[in-house]
């Protein structure tokens, strides 16, 4: 039970406290070593000021999405025809749209749509990319050739175009848009996981596990995949800005969330015809999209700089 060597058990011979435990020269347990690595990573991350700004904004998005019912000042769907296209005021912080709906409240609720797309795409794309990439990289040979050929075919289309095609085929709707985006977002992840698996497959500990008689499935799932995971997580974060922009593009073209449900891209599209007289209808949701993709870009860049100092 080496994991029990927590803050309490060291307290006799070392300065007390969590901080001291984290800063200790030599970790005495696996858990302490892991915690220390995370702690040092966190401290290095705090050095990236822009990355911290990005993280704060991403956390802000999550909070806004979670607490939307309390943050919104109006029902996002309620139409008040007497108050259509009102400029920003004390009653309507960001004005109202052509149906008299409060734009601020629609943006707050729209954060849920954006978060849902981001989370679901990540949840779909990471396992698929990992499974395909790790399998191809570890097995090599024909399996590698076939899987990477398929990956290349998906990469042979510009991302938005392919997502457009799939979204059109599947029909409009938020879930179909998520599937369409995921279909176009997994290939870079698979390529990355494959590259990682290629370097892992020849290492000694893999040979040792293989000699112990582990099956291929077990080897890939228990020993190759976990090693690929960190770089995949970073890559998914980095790609999230692109995912959000693609989702907004689909929404703008009418293929994402369907009206009247608030989605930022669709809000820009609907506001277009009223833009010249009431620019706030278009300005606010566009800024929301830009801020969130900027946040993911900053956060992702900082993560990458931390893990790969060469590209800094």
Partner 1 sequence: MSVSSARTVPGPPAARARRARLGRLVGRTVSLALTLLGLMALTFLMGRLLPADPVLAVTGFEVDRATYQRVYLELGLDRPVWEQFLSYVGGIFQGDLGRSTTTGQPVAVDLLRVFPATFELALTAAIVGSLLGIPLGIVAAVNRDRMIDHIARIIGLAGYSIPIFWMGLMALLVFYAKLRWVGASGRVDVFYEGLVPSRTGLLLVDSAIAGDWAVFRSAFAHLILPASILGYYSTAYISRMARSFMLEQLGQEYIVAARAKGLPRNAVVWRHAFKNIRVQLLTVVALVFAGLLDGTVLVETVFGWPGVGQYLTRGLQYNDMNVVMGTVLVIGLLFLAMNTLSDWLYRRLDPRTR
Residues that bind partner 1 (CB under 8 A): 149-150, 152-154, 156-162, 164-166, 168-171, 241, 245, 248-249, 252-255, 265, 268, 272, 275-276, 279, 282-283, 286, 289-291, 293-294, 297-298, 311
* Backbone phi, psi, residue 156, to 5°: -80, -5
In the bound state with partner 1, the residue whose beta carbon lies nearer, of 183 and 225, is 183
* Backbone phi, psi, residue 96, to 5°: -125, 160
Beta strands in the chain (DSSP E): none
In the bound state with partner 1, the residue whose beta carbon lies nearer, of 128 and 220, is 128
Q: How far is the CB of 273 from partner 1 (least distance, A)?
A: 11
Q: How far is the CB of 312 from partner 1 (least distance, A)?
A: 10
Cα 16 → chain centroid: 37
In the bound state with partner 1, the residue whose beta carbon lies nearer, of 74 and 97, is 97
Tell me how far apart the alpha carbons of residues 303 and 65 are, in angstroms, rounded to a whole number.
24
- Contact present, 289 and 265 (Cβ < 8 Å): yes
In the bound state with partner 1, the residue whose beta carbon lies nearer, of 136 and 219, is 136
In the bound state with partner 1, the residue whose beta carbon lies nearer, of 6 and 286, is 286
In the bound state with partner 1, the residue whose beta carbon lies nearer, of 61 and 220, is 61
* Backbone phi, psi, residue 102, to 5°: -75, 120
Q: How far is the CB of 58 from partner 1 (least distance, A)?
A: 13
Q: How far is the CB of 254 from partner 1 (least distance, A)?
A: 7
CA distances from residue 118 to 138, 243, 266, 275 in whole angstroms, order as listed: 29, 7, 16, 28
Hey, how many other C-beta atoms are within 10 angstroms of the C-beta on 15? 11
User: What are the respective helix, strand and coil percentages of the chain, to the nearest 5?
Assistant: 75, 0, 25
Q: Could you write out the DSSP letters of every residue in 252-300?
A: HTT-SSPTTS--HHHHHHHHGGGTTT-THHHHHHHHHHHHHHHHHHHHH
Q: How far is the CB of 207 from partner 1 (least distance, A)?
A: 23
Q: How far is the CB of 13 from partner 1 (least distance, A)?
A: 45
* Backbone phi, psi, residue 253, to 5°: -85, 5
Residues in the chain: 312
In the bound state with partner 1, the residue whose beta carbon lies nearer, of 123 and 153, is 153
Q: How far is the CB of 250 from partner 1 (least distance, A)?
A: 10
């Amino acid at each position: 039970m080496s994991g029990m060597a927590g803050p309490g058990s060291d307290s006799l011979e070392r300065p007390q406290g969590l901080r001291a435990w984290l800063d200790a020269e030599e970790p005495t347990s696996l858990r302490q070593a892991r915690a220390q690595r995370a702690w040092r990573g966190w401290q290095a991350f705090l050095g990236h000021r822009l990355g911290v700004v990005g993280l704060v904004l991403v956390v802000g998005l999550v909070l806004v999405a979670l607490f939307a019912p309390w943050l919104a000042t109006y029902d996002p769907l309620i139409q008040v025809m007497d108050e259509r296209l009102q400029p920003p005021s004390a009653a309507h912080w960001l004005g109202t749209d052509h149906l008299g709906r409060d734009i601020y409240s629609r943006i707050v609720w729209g954060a849920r749509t954006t978060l849902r797309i981001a989370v679901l795409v990540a949840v779909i794309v990471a396992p698929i990319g990992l499974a395909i990439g790790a399998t191809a990289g570890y097995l090599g040979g024909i399996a590698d050739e076939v899987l990477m050929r398929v990956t290349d075919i998906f990469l042979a289309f510009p991302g938005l175009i392919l997502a457009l095609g799939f979204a059109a085929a599947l029909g409009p709707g938020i879930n179909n848009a998520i599937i369409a985006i995921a279909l176009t977002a997994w290939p870079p992840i698979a390529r990355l996981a494959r590259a990682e698996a290629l370097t892992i497959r020849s290492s000694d500990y893999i040979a040792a596990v293989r000699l112990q008689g582990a099956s291929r499935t077990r080897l890939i799932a228990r020993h190759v995949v976990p090693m690929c995971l960190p770089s995949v997580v970073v890559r998914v974060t980095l790609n999230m800005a692109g995912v959000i922009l693609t989702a907004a593009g689909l929404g703008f073209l009418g293929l994402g969330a369907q009206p009247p449900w608030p989605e930022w891209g669709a809000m820009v599209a609907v506001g277009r015809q009223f833009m010249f007289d009431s620019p706030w209808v278009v300005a606010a949701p566009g800024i929301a999209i830009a801020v969130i993709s900027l946040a993911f870009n900053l956060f992702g860049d900082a993560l990458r700089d931390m893990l790969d100092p060469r590209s800094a």
